[in-house]
A = this chain, B = another copy of it.
């Protein structure tokens, strides 16, 4: 999986590869086709539950898709921030620190 593709691009490509219509997939997700269309064009965010279902429906690796989804949410959080990439690095360092603490107890 190419991590530089948006989750929408990944979903649309795989859906088309499988010859499925928006209507087929959105029915399984139990949402209107409009939303799925928007998710595929990155106009809306999916929920975590939808991502997990989509991995099943489209035979995509759940963990990979989830990582892609989470990374996109992270990027969304800092998209308009000039200090975004600094914040990302600090978040990683803090994450390590927290994990170290937790592994001690």
Contact = CB atoms under 8 A, between A and B. Distances in A.
Interface of A: 3-4, 63, 66-68, 70-75, 77-78, 81, 83-95, 97-99
B83 A67 contact: yes
Nearest to A63: B83
A71 B85 contact: no
Copies in the assembly, this chain = 2
A24 B4 CA distance: 48
A55 to B, nearest CB: 13
B87 A74 contact: yes
B92 A88 contact: yes
28 contacts: A3-B90, A3-B93, A4-B93, A4-B94, A4-B97, A63-B83, A66-B81, A67-B83, A67-B90, A68-B90, A70-B78, A70-B81, A70-B83, A70-B87, A71-B88, A71-B90, A71-B94, A73-B77, A74-B77, A74-B78, A74-B87, A75-B94, A75-B98, A84-B95, A85-B95, A88-B88, A88-B91, A88-B95
